[in-house]
Amino acid sequence: MSRQQREHLNAAYRSRPRPVTPPTAEEQRAGFAAALTRPALEDVAVRRTALGGRPALELAPAGTAGPGRLLYLHGGGYLVGSPDTHAGLAGELARRAGLHAVSLDYRLAPEHVFPAAVDDGLAAYRELLATGTDPRTLVLAGDSAGGALALATLLAARAAGLPQPAAVVLFSPWVDLALRGGSLRTKADADRIFTEADLRAYAAHYLGAADPENPLASPLYADLTGLPPLLIQVGANELVLDDAVRLAARAGAADVDVTLEIGGNLPHVFQHHYGRLEEADAALDRAAAFLTAHLGAAVTAVTAVTA
């Protein structure tokens, strides 16, 4: 990232005022949507649908064919965000990987506390399998809280006896709602997006009375044995940097194939700035290559069987 690009991002983040009176959930959602929505590119067809009893967006990049499928779970601290706000990011990953994608509109807190989001993720995953998606041709991705939800969905699927997908990509996953990572302090001045108080407020809204160390709320504390290959990408300027680092260590200890990438001097979910930051485009290219590499042999095998 060039100095000019870095200064532009920092100025944009600093310019967002913090109100004296905390905004309502609806006000936060409207503000988030107004500030951060990026629509899908013109060559990605978007269609509203439903999955697992919840609304969803189908994202179909032009020229995409074959059985490969991506389930995307958006970020937003379980409080804000939607498939619409993340259509650009999910669509861009799908476009680069050559996959059809579906982005789930899971229920948000505080109206729907934990485990509502996990229940929705599992219902969506279960329906994909039940309607003919071979798990060997299915991949998951998510950012921030959506990254944690992708893991929680697979942990719930494992508990339900369902097969795992081919691979998972996580952008800046927020996997420790107990907030014990050292980067909450060491990156406090570097993170221009969040404060520790922000994260504590998001966690409180989502958890309700639940234990923050519940593995489905905080996958960092889960037994990760048997999960598919993981790619974790995180920026060095993040309060949740240590979430990604500790998650990679625990995954490796559980004999999970895991790749951790830390982007120097980059913010939370920097991939959202594709087309503006070279590092974002490069990271999305690597994420797409990771998914297609793990899908390749499986898609070939499934296609051969069904031909």
Q: Is 238 annotated in the active site?
A: yes
* Residue with tokens 């504390």, as numbered in its chain: 221
Helix, strand, coil % (nearest 5) of the chain?
45, 15, 40
Q: Is 218 annotated in the active site?
A: no
pLDDT tens for the chain, 307 residues long, are 555 555 555 544 443 445 557 899 999 999 999 999 999 999 999 999 999 999 999 999 998 888 999 999 999 999 999 999 999 999 999 999 999 999 999 999 999 999 999 999 999 999 999 999 999 999 999 999 999 999 999 999 999 999 999 999 999 999 999 999 999 999 999 999 999 999 999 999 999 999 999 999 999 999 999 999 999 999 999 999 999 999 999 999 999 999 999 999 999 999 999 999 999 999 999 999 999 999 986 665 555 555 5
**Which is the catalytic residue, given 268, 272, 273, 294?**
268
**Which is the catalytic residue, given 86, 100, 103, 144?**
144
Contacts of 76 (CB under 8 A, 6+ apart): 32, 82, 85, 108, 144, 145, 146
CA distance 285 to 96: 7
Q: Is 268 annotated in the active site?
A: yes
**Which is the catalytic residue, given 74, 238, 272, 273?**
238
pTM (predicted TM-score): 0.93
Q: How far is CA 249 from CA 208, 215, 219, 259, in A?
A: 28, 16, 13, 10
